[in-house]
Structure 1
């Protein structure tokens, strides 16, 4: 490790650097690898998964009714007639099954709370589980969209009055949602090469990397979070008054600091948009919002200007399911800007989308995203896999029907206990922050070094360049793998710890081992003093 040239890793994404750190950590045989580098949770929601499996049993029974006289494993597409009565019989035969009870409750809930037809809902879910049709509508199945719409509204609006007048596009996780958003904004001329895009930094690394790709070549303007409070300051918010900034991208709660915008900051951003930047496009990525207390999204505060990206991956332990949605209000800046563009520009777009409808200008921005996701020509086969949409609906229903918020309280308690354990074992007192979410924590080596050993040590630590090699030293000496804050555009020397993917005992070990390496650095400082 001592002969390793750290400069060769300067341009690597932190997620690619992680692989090198794992290689270093595993170089010592028979030592436990403590990889807190990636945010993949080690917990998951079981009840909606049980419901998914039991729905599959019923769906197959429905399918087999069509060709019962054949014995070669044939089934048919269920027609839905009498389906609720047959499910009632199925439920009585499996009355002790937790997943079936959940499905019974779901059928009752969607009728009473969402005004959906029980027959239509159950028929849609059965056919979708079987995956026997293309997604129609391709953007999202009708009943499933209503269910996920209610879930998103519940989680994004907090104490604000709920407005369900928004469309959803089911995507292959939040990453696909990001990709489709940039792609369609460019394709439709809402963004052009050379335009300015503002990012609230530090931020999830792809938001830093995508604008710089050759097909986009956007100019990044950083709207920096204060690295003590992780909130925006007035001078940073004022940067958004620049009308050359076309798009603001936000991750809220932030990644890696894992702190949500305060109500005061939300109000200031909403006021700026309403008074000075009514033309500003906003993309808010709210994947960690469900872990926050009393969370309110910019999607709720600035509904006209904001496109919401949400992923089910973290909260439900479903990264492998690839479940995400894009939400856009019925009345929105994306559609209105398209309508205001020149006749020449709209003629070009007419030609792009003319195979979809005789009136291509009536196609909403969110539906253009669907078409662009399949290069328009394959729009008829667009859409997220139907079994994936079923699981998304069941995840949503599990929270909508959880009147006591039992699952939410449990997930919050789990990650926050890990947070306390980590810092306790580092010997650091935790400062309370009502806006902290604690899915990740950012260990600022400057601040921690000052608390533990004083400012003179921090100055020496910086001048010695130990911040650059700290992660490799930690991996080499202890087997602990963390990610560099620099990869997320954090200014100070820092490391990101995911609090989602290891055990309580392992976070205690990470705390002790991180302190051990810091103590070694301090011993070197004393020796060279």
Structure 2
């Protein structure tokens, strides 16, 4: 039987590699494909979803009270008068349903713990889940924004700041956030063709590709995390940011794929750099922060320089909901940069935003993003759909009301058990790091070879084995899909596995398969060494 030549795939892009790997893994019908290549979690928060649907049923009944004389199927806007009393009756008649009980507790929590108007909140949720009105305000519903601010402050480790100092823009997940941010930075002349942007590497591969698009044509300066330092950024790398030519620093924290949060030392170094570079913009994607222990966002240490992006997709298992926010300080460096633009540039921007207000120069950057998201002319129809905002709020309240943090402990335990199962079957020691999040793992080809069979074997593997070929062999022969670390700007040969989307026994199977390939390579190595001695 002829062996498959996998070398032809070596130059494919990460996404084409993924598609080819999946095709190989699915080629045999007598086995299950194990796709550990994508980070879509196979767990999700059920209680806030049940609450969403129960709220929808209550709200639909409320709508039917209006125009009740009309044929069945036609309703009107819910009535604020007496809404709380009707909701209390709904709670009493459904006391045996945990999701309805949760809704009642959510109202109490919003009133008694957050100090917000419970009646106004209930009306916002009822109208929101019905989706019967445009999102007003278009940036985010008023009380929803206050609740999500509180959630962001708690989960992102932001202390010593007032929630009133932050504004949120509700968006269609983290990917939409990035698209809106880069677009508005360009439209508002904060970045331009040929500008330098620093990127914390390794990083989610599309974030390497956005700056290179014809829309931006930015020059990338990679800030490399060091695997020998637990994938932290060495100070020498971070100090590259002191170069005034670098306009912005873009990173994922905790990182993807190393899956570690930035250490306190790294945060302190960045804070010191900002003192020297008060004009530096930091863009941080903190989607994995909720999986970390004692997480602290860069927003917590450099609030006026940082654009924070958070998505509800991973932690709540809500990738299909497309829920995210962009957070920006009320006093931020971007608004200062816009105010300092030349007279000509200011005039151009005045023209762009003149349909929104008679004083376009007073429009803050976060509101410019809202307008830009709909090409300005359609600003009046901008904003995240109100049912999406309602589900976002229920997710946040579910987390904040969980005083024992039971859900958080459970999802952390899930991914860490999977990580342990993979490495146990691979036969190497599981890396221990207090900064690790364990949403992904990077299996380092050289380190694994060294730990299994020693330094000489590892050297031989690095000289004779192509990592891409190994991934294709694994996919073809076992049905397991892993992604190459090189697609994420990992400098050392490695394979990325998501620890979120398969079960423990399946990660054990991945570990066994990788170990089998290592054992086969070792036997090949012994034969090669024997031939070398004979020769």
- TM-score > 0.5, shorter chain as reference: yes
Query: Which aligned pairs between 1:400-415 and structure 2 lie closer than 5 A?
Result: 400-415=400-415
2:302 aligned residue:
302
1:259 aligned residue:
260
Query: Which aligned pairs between 1:467-486 and structure 2 lie closer than 5 A?
Result: 467-486=467-486
2:346 aligned residue:
346
Distance in 2 (alpha carbons) for counterparts of 1:182 and 1:230: 26
Distance in 1 (alpha carbons) for counterparts of 2:486 and 2:366: 34
Give 3-state SS (helix, strand or coil) of 2:237's partner.
helix
Query: Which aligned pairs between 1:106-255 and structure 2 lie closer than 5 A?
Result: 106-157=106-157, 160-164=159-163, 165-228=165-228, 229-255=230-256
2:285 aligned residue:
285
Distance in 1 (alpha carbons) for counterparts of 2:377 and 2:388: 23
Distance in 1 (alpha carbons) for counterparts of 2:360 and 2:223: 37
Give 1:207 shift.
1.2
2:363 aligned residue:
363
CA contact (8 A) 1:171 1:177 kept: yes
CA contact (8 A) 1:461 1:467 kept: no
Distance in 2 (alpha carbons) for counterparts of 1:176 and 1:9: 31
Give 1:455 shift.
2.0
Give 1:16 shift.
3.6
2:533 aligned residue:
none
| Post-superposition CA distance 1:291-312 (Å, at most 9, x none) | 0000000011100100001110
Give 3-state SS (helix, strand or coil) of 1:319's partner.
coil
CA contact (8 A) 2:224 2:237 kept: yes
Give 1:113 shift.
2.2
Query: Which aligned pairs between 1:3-18 and structure 2 lie closer than 5 A?
Result: 3-4=4-5, 6-8=7-9, 10-12=11-13, 14-18=14-18
Give 3-state SS (helix, strand or coil) of 1:191's partner.
coil
Cα-Cα RMSD: 1.2
Distance in 1 (alpha carbons) for counterparts of 2:140 and 2:487: 35
Give 1:11 shift.
4.3
Give 1:365 shift.
0.3
Distance of aligned partners of 1:387 and 1:6 in 2 relative to their CA distance in 1, 3 Å threshold: farther
| Post-superposition CA distance 1:24-58 (Å, at most 9, x none) | 11222301211111100000001100110110111
Distance in 2 (alpha carbons) for counterparts of 1:443 and 1:163: 42
* Structure 2, gaps ≥5 residues long: 530-535
CA contact (8 A) 1:198 1:221 kept: yes
1:447 aligned residue:
447
CA contact (8 A) 1:15 1:483 kept: no
Give 1:4 shift.
3.9
Distance in 1 (alpha carbons) for counterparts of 2:281 and 2:409: 34
Query: Which aligned pairs between 1:464-503 and structure 2 lie closer than 5 A?
Result: 464-503=464-503
Give 1:119 shift.
1.2
Give 3-state SS (helix, strand or coil) of 1:114's partner.
coil
Distance in 2 (alpha carbons) for counterparts of 1:292 and 1:162: 21
* Structure 1, gaps ≥5 residues long: none
Give 3-state SS (helix, strand or coil) of 1:442's partner.
strand
2:25 aligned residue:
25
Distance in 1 (alpha carbons) for counterparts of 2:522 and 2:197: 41
Judge which range, 36-45 or 426-435, deviates more: 426-435
Distance in 2 (alpha carbons) for counterparts of 1:231 and 1:181: 26
Number of matched pairs: 526
Distance of aligned partners of 1:16 and 1:122 in 2 relative to their CA distance in 1, 3 Å threshold: farther
| Post-superposition CA distance 1:219-265 (Å, at most 9, x none) | 00011000221001121011111000001001000000001111111
TM-score, normalised relative to structure 1: 0.97
Distance in 2 (alpha carbons) for counterparts of 1:97 and 1:253: 37
